[in-house]
């Protein structure tokens, strides 16, 4: 299956990827960042999967989400009839459940299923037993139960069944995880859970304030962002997967199942601007817990519960998606210095407060501490927005976001009555602004550059007018946008930065596709410039890259006409929402 052949289901604590042929090839339980029990996505079916579909195994004729929900409906037309499979994960009460309901639509269809449970990312073959007609698989701390309406036969370390469904019939399979030391959990009523899941999403979407011409795309993106929120803590993961490659067959494979401060703040901006303030309050509470302590210990990312240790490990028993190795879990980038996150955090908290979030004295105390750190470290080189694994540089975008941190602090004092050394902040804000315009701007080419002294461009420079560093009609902004359109676009989409043998900025071999967020940023800037027709054309081209159920990965590779990178990617759906609002 291609990456775009997958759909997402989830319960706001974990998520599964369901392939177009009816196979669940990725599922981590009980959390987004837990070891997978289905890892075929990064290996083979022997690393765990659960297929359910018409005998003969073929792609679904059509599929869709049921209205504005995360309930997936896949339908197959066969010579003997039509069948539908309804997949969903109910918002969790205690134990995570995956429900798969087979519905006979017309005629009769012979169905088959194959279940291979493999704990620890496909490494552990569990012990399986039957109890009262149900299957239990146990391996170390993990236990799952499959409640099936038909008997399954074991063999070759898998369990299979073949059965027939006729028009009007409904058969439900329920897959439940629990800690192996606990007794078997109570079986859920799948029809009740289906109704409650549908009602949950309907009630949540009803708060959406966006009414523009791209409502379908915006709402689907917002649902996806909500699905990537870890409900118990308010943390927001960047994606549901690890190690889906940015370059097919290459080594640019990273674990995105963690909470980047940057991604989370941008996600919140999209949710808040669309009418969802509760998520901002939950995230602020998560943030205050996660970063509690010395400001110099701030990390760019944390676990969903606020964990700080995210050691990067290689899973050498997995072949990787389409041979893209290594497969990584954990992320060493957690140790990097990325100065832009201070600006993103300050901006998000400011926007949340401006939109009506109640004041919080402890939050302001921590913000003051973060600003002290910015004052002392803004002039240092860092790894920057793109988490380069090459030498640290004075990235222009990082400096701009340090300016944003101070600018929003000043606005906090001016607009919300907070106290602080506002004159000192204003003065430093002006110093940073002047230095960026002197050292980060190439007057001969009339463009800002990726870093001080560099001749390279960077798509992150498109954020300069978006965050208010310079007006969108400033000649230096106009020149930068024109240079990016001329030098950083491939097949009509924006690349992050040039990749060439003589440019060691990220310290990695191989190429990559077009990072989708960058093209959405260009749409937003075009709209701000009044180039609405051009912006609309590019935006609709980007919408055309979504898969059949409205999801986007991290990048699009025009070399193969495919989505690449982790999936679905919050950092793609967030700027989609902002671009739609700019066009509206």
Express each pLDDT in 457-478 by its tens digit. Answer: 999 999 999 999 999 999 999 9
C-alpha to C-alpha distance for 517 and 496, rounded to whole angstroms: 9
C-alpha to C-alpha distance for 51 and 41, rounded to whole angstroms: 13
Mean pLDDT within 537-566? 96
DSSP state of 274: T
Give the tokens for residue 444.
Answer: 């001969």
CATH 1.10.4080.10 fits 208-583, yes or no: no
C-alpha to C-alpha distance for 558 and 544, rounded to whole angstroms: 13
Options 2.70.98.10, 3.40.605.10, 3.40.50.300, 3.40.50.720; which CATH number does 3-202 get? 2.70.98.10
Mean pLDDT within 359-378? 91
pLDDT above 70: residue 502: no
pLDDT given at position 246? 93
Break the chain into its structural domains and give their ranges: 3-202, 208-583
| CB 562, CB 4: distance < 8 Å | yes
Mean pLDDT within 17-33? 98
User: By mean pLDDT, which of 233-237, 287-291, 308-312, 391-395 is the weakest?
Assistant: 287-291
Q: Which residues pair with 564 in a beta bridge?
A: 555
Angstrom CA distances, 145 to 247, 337, 509, stand at 37, 44, 43
Q: Which of 62, 154, 148, 168 is closest to 106 using CA atoms?
A: 168
Question: Sorting pLDDT into bands at 50, 70 and 90, what band is 374?
Answer: very high
| CB 496, CB 506: distance < 8 Å | no
Angle, alpha carbons 70-73-78 (nearest 5°): 165
What DSSP assignment string belongs to 489-504? EETTEE-SS--BTTB-
pLDDT above 60: residue 503: no
Mean pLDDT within 541-565? 96
Angle, alpha carbons 100-102-105 (nearest 5°): 145
Query: How many residues appear in the chain?
Result: 584
pLDDT given at position 294? 76
Question: Sorting pLDDT into bands at 50, 70 and 90, what band is 584?
Answer: confident
pLDDT given at position 507? 59
Backbone angles phi, psi at 380, to 5 degrees: -95, 155
Q: Is the dihedral of CA 168, 57, 553, 321 positive or negative?
A: positive
Mean pLDDT within 381-390? 87
Mean pLDDT within 523-542? 97
Number of H helices, E strands in the chain: 14, 28
Helices 570-583 and 516-528: crossing angle in degrees, nearest 10, is: 20
pLDDT above 60: residue 175: yes
| CB 236, CB 13: distance < 8 Å | no
> According to the 3-state scheme, what is the secondary structure of 547-565?
CCCCCCCCEEECCCCEEEC
Question: Sorting pLDDT into bands at 50, 70 and 90, what band is 245?
Answer: very high
Please report, rounded to a whole number, the percentage of residues in the chain having pLDDT higher than 90: 82
Q: Which of 146, 170, 151, 171 is closest to 162 using CA atoms?
A: 151
Half-sphere exposure for 433 (CA within 13 Å, toward CB): 15
Question: Sorting pLDDT into bands at 50, 70 and 90, what band is 302?
Answer: very high
According to DSSP H, which parts of 252-395 are helical?
261-273, 278-290, 340-354, 361-377
Cα dihedral 401/554/334/509 (nearest 10): -100
Question: Sorting pLDDT into bands at 50, 70 and 90, what band is 122?
Answer: very high
Mean pLDDT within 118-123? 97
Contacts of 471 (CB under 8 A, 6+ apart): 465, 477
Three-state secondary structure call for residue 316:
coil
According to DSSP H, which parts of 127-241 are helical?
190-205, 215-227
| CB 549, CB 216: distance < 8 Å | no
pLDDT in tens, 314-358: 999 999 999 999 999 999 988 899 999 999 999 999 998 998 888
Q: Which of 329, 311, 326 is closest to 255 using CA atoms?
A: 329
| CB 45, CB 116: distance < 8 Å | yes
pLDDT above 70: residue 200: yes
Question: Sorting pLDDT into bands at 50, 70 and 90, what band is 277?
Answer: confident
Mean pLDDT within 495-505? 69
Of 2 and 268, the one with more pLDDT: 2
Backbone angles phi, psi at 429, to 5 degrees: -55, -45
Q: pLDDT averaged over the chain?
A: 94
C-alpha to C-alpha distance for 117 and 125, rounded to whole angstroms: 7
C-alpha to C-alpha distance for 427 and 431, rounded to whole angstroms: 6
C-alpha to C-alpha distance for 68 and 223, rounded to whole angstroms: 8
pLDDT given at position 292? 78
Mean pLDDT within 71-86? 98
Question: Sorting pLDDT into bands at 50, 70 and 90, what band is 500?
Answer: low
pLDDT in tens, 207-224: 999 999 999 999 999 999
pLDDT in tens, 6-24: 999 999 999 999 999 999 9
C-alpha to C-alpha distance for 569 and 266, rounded to whole angstroms: 12
Mean pLDDT within 84-101? 96
C-alpha to C-alpha distance for 520 and 456, rounded to whole angstroms: 21
C-alpha to C-alpha distance for 564 and 548, rounded to whole angstroms: 16
pLDDT above 80: residue 383: yes
- R_g (Cα) of the chain, nearest Å: 24
The pairing of beta strand 328-329 with beta strand 313-314 = antiparallel
Q: Peptide bond before 568: cis, by omega within 30 degrees of 0?
A: yes
Mean pLDDT within 40-69? 97
pLDDT above 70: residue 79: yes
DSSP state of 284: H
Ramachandran class of 136: left when φ > 0, alpha when ψ lies in -120 to 50, beta otherwise: beta
Q: Which of 33, 573, 538 is closest to 311 using CA atoms?
A: 33
Question: Sorting pLDDT into bands at 50, 70 and 90, what band is 506?
Answer: low
pLDDT in tens, 54-67: 999 999 999 999 99
């Amino acid at each position: 299956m291609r990456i775009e052949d997958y759909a997402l289901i989830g319960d706001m604590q974990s998520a599964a990827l369901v392939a177009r042929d009816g196979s669940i090839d990725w599922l981590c339980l009980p959390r987004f960042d837990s070891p997978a029990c289905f890892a075929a996505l990064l290996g083979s079916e022997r690393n765990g999967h659960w297929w359910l579909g018409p005998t003969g195994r073929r792609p679904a004729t059509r599929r869709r989400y049921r209205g504005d929900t995360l309930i997936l409906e896949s339908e197959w037309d066969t010579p003997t009839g039509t069948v539908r499979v309804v997949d969903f994960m109910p918002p969790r009460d205690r134990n995570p459940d995956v429900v798969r309901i087979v519905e006979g639509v017309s005629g009769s269809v012979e169905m088959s299923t194959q279940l291979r449970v493999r704990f620890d990312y496909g490494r552990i073959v569990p012990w399986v037993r039957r109890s009262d007609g149900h299957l239990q698989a146990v391996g170390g701390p993990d236990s799952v139960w499959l409640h099936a309406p038909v008997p399954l036969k074991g063999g070759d370390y898998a369990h299979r069944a073949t059965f027939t469904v006729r028009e009007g019939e409904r058969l439900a399979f329920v897959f439940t995880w629990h800690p192996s030391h606990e007794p078997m959990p109570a079986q859920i009523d799948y029809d009740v859970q289906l109704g409650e899941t549908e009602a949950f999403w309907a009630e949540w979407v009803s708060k959406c304030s966006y009414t523009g011409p791209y409502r379908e795309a915006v709402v689907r993106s917002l649902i996806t962002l909500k699905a990537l929120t870890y409900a118990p803590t308010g943390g927001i993961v960047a994606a549901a997967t690890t190690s889906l490659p940015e370059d097919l067959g290459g080594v640019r494979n990273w674990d995105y199942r963690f909470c980047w401060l940057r991604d989370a703040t941008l996600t919140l901006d999209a949710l808040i601007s669309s009418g969802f303030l509760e998520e901002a309050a939950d995230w602020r509470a998560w943030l205050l817990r996660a970063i509690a302590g010395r400001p110099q210990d701030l990390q760019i990312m944390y676990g969903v519960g606020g964990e700080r240790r995210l050691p990067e490990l290689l899973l050498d028993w997995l072949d990787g998606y389409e041979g893209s190795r290594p497969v990584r879990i954990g992320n060493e980038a957690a140790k990097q210095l990325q100065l832009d996150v201070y600006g993103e955090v300050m901006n998000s908290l400011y926007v949340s407060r401006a939109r009506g979030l109640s004041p919080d004295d402890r939050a302001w105390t921590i913000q003051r501490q973060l600003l002290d750190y910015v004052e002392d470290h803004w002039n240092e080189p860092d790894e920057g927005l793109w988490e380069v694994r090459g030498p640290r540089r004075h990235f222009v975008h990082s400096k701009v976001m340090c300016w944003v941190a101070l600018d929003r602090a000043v606005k906090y004092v001016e607009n919300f009555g907070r106290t602080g050394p506002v004159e000192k902040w204003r003065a430093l804000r002006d110093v940073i602004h002047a230095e960026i315009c002197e050292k980060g701007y190439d007057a001969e080419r009339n463009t800002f550059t990726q870093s001080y002294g560099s001749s390279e461009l960077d798509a992150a420079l498109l954020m300069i007018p978006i965050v208010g560093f310079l007006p969108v009609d400033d000649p230096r902004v106009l020149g930068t946008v024109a240079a990016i359109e001329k030098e950083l676009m491939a097949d009509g989409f924006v690349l992050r930065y040039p990749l060439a043998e003589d440019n060691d900025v990220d310290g990695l071999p191989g190429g990559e596709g077009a990072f989708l967020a960058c093209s959405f940023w260009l749409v937003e800037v075009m709209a701000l410039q009044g180039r609405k027709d051009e912006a609309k054309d590019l935006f609709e081209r980007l919408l055309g890259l979504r898969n059949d159920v409205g999801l986007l990965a991290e990048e699009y590779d025009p070399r193969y006409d495919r989505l690449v990178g982790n999936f679905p990617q919050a950092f793609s759906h967030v700027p989609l929402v902002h671009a739609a609002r700019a066009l509206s």
